[in-house]
Amino acid sequence: MKIESDVLRDFVGDIFVGAGCSKEEGERIAKYLVNANLAGHDSHGVVRVPRYVTSKLEGTVKGDVKVDVVVDTPVIAVVDGKFGYGQTVTPQAVQIGIEKAKKNGLAAVALRNAGHIGRIGDWAEMAGAEGLVSIHFVNVPGSVLVAPYGGVDRRISTAPFCIGIPREGQEMVLLDFATSVVAEGKVLVASQGGKKLPDNALIEQDGAMSGDPHTLYGPYEPTGPRNYRQGTGAIRAFGDHKGSGLAFMCEILGGSLTGAGATETRTVVTNGMLSFYIDPKVLDPSAFFGSDMARYIDYWKSSKPATADGEVLIPGEVESRNRKDRLANGITIADDTWTAIVDIAAKVGVKPPHNLGGPRP
């Protein structure tokens, strides 16, 4: 089914309010989840609603949290998210980084004890809107999902990495990916009737490659919960030793250095993120950066495509096109995913909208 983005956003916001969040927080979480769907990152979109709500009802994530800044220097901050929703505490941490970078040209912000912070590209876009370059190393303490290169046992989170670069008058260049072949959310989407996984995305205990979500989750019902602790297999790190090595660095920088802790088996799953913010106007007063980036993008895209119908793209172009298409034509939601969202909505006393897929009244 396809749902108009504003209708979906309103519905999801109402669900979080029903779960005990303030209206402001519910709207904010809904905005970022639907933004992920619009960008084509369905793994970090509304498929997460049942988990997010369940975490709130069980008390493992807190609503409407104001962060604590436990280290504060002109260019460095350490921010404790106090187990608040990632979509609430992360913007506070990013804003601190933006303000410091605008004053001093450079900032480093460590965020720990945050609830799932969603699509990392949102935070690079937030910095990019202020003219700042940003780099983000992220880990997910407690979420042991990925096998390191050469192994089959889980030892890594999906350990995302992101770089955002603003461009004057144009959409920013944005590199945003999990260091695993697929994010866990993509396994979740596939398990609920969405896009299938590559045949080599997962690995069994005997070393065999797999694209079957049961490898990660074990047995499950079509619309029932998914528990990755029930499966015997793992997600694979992308790019063999290179992706595995980058994941290791995300664990150390996003986890150990921030105080979040590198991944290990825990009851509560959180996020840690180490972010760097750079003001190009301070680093490059001659304004060489923007013009040379534009020159290089043209040079990059001038490469002959490998296939007759192919195209050479820069980071962020696919997401930009997805956003335009889905804003115009709606967001596709798999039936099992929609059923799970409607079920959790009913649990908190919220009814689904009547105008699915159509224009807003």
Could you tell me the CATH number of the domain that includes residue 175? 3.30.1370.60
Residue 38, domain extent: 1-59+344-361
Q: How many other C-beta atoms lie within 10 A of the C-beta of residue 58?
A: 9
Q: Are residues 121 and 202 in the same domain?
A: no
Whichever domain contains 9, its CATH number is 1.10.1530.10
What mean pLDDT value characterizes the chain?
Answer: 95
Length of the chain: 361
Mean pLDDT to the nearest integer, 287-303: 97
Q: Are residues 198 and 137 in the same domain?
A: no
Q: Are residues 137 and 272 in the same domain?
A: yes
Share of the chain above pLDDT 90, in %: 91
Q: Are residues 242 and 146 in the same domain?
A: yes
**In this structure, is residue 360 part of a structural domain?**
yes
Q: Are residues 15 and 161 in the same domain?
A: no
Q: Is 360's pLDDT higher than 50?
A: no
Q: Are residues 211 and 173 in the same domain?
A: no
Are 1 and 353 in contact by the 8 Å Cβ rule? The answer is no
Q: How many other C-beta atoms lie within 10 A of the C-beta of residue 149?
A: 17
- Buried b or exposed e, range 257-267, using 16+ CB within 10 angstroms: bbebbbbeeee
Q: Are residues 120 and 263 in the same domain?
A: yes
Q: Are residues 47 and 139 in the same domain?
A: no
Burial label for 132, CB within 10 Å (0-12, 13-18, 19+), is: buried
Closest CA relative to residue 46, chosen from 55, 57, 35, 54: 35
pLDDT digits 0-9 by tens, 229-282? 999 999 999 999 999 999 999 999 999 999 999 999 888 889 999 999 999 999
Q: Is 2's pLDDT higher than 70?
A: yes
Q: Are residues 118 and 175 in the same domain?
A: yes
Q: Are residues 79 and 205 in the same domain?
A: no
Mean pLDDT to the nearest integer, 156-166: 97
**In this structure, is residue 338 part of a structural domain?**
no
User: How far is 194 from 185, CA to CA, in rounded Å?
Assistant: 11
What is the C-alpha radius of gyration for the chain, rounded to an integer number of angstroms? 20
Q: Are residues 26 and 144 in the same domain?
A: no
Look up the pTM and report it.
Answer: 0.93
**In this structure, is residue 266 part of a structural domain?**
yes
Q: How far, in Å, are 141, 191, 260, 274 from residue 252 at the CA level? A: 11, 31, 10, 10
Report which DSSP code applies to 313.
-
**In this structure, is residue 333 part of a structural domain?**
no
Q: Are residues 108 and 28 in the same domain?
A: no
The domain tally of the chain equals 3
Mean pLDDT to the nearest integer, 150-171: 96
Q: Which residues contact 304 (CB under 8 A, 6 or more apart)?
A: none
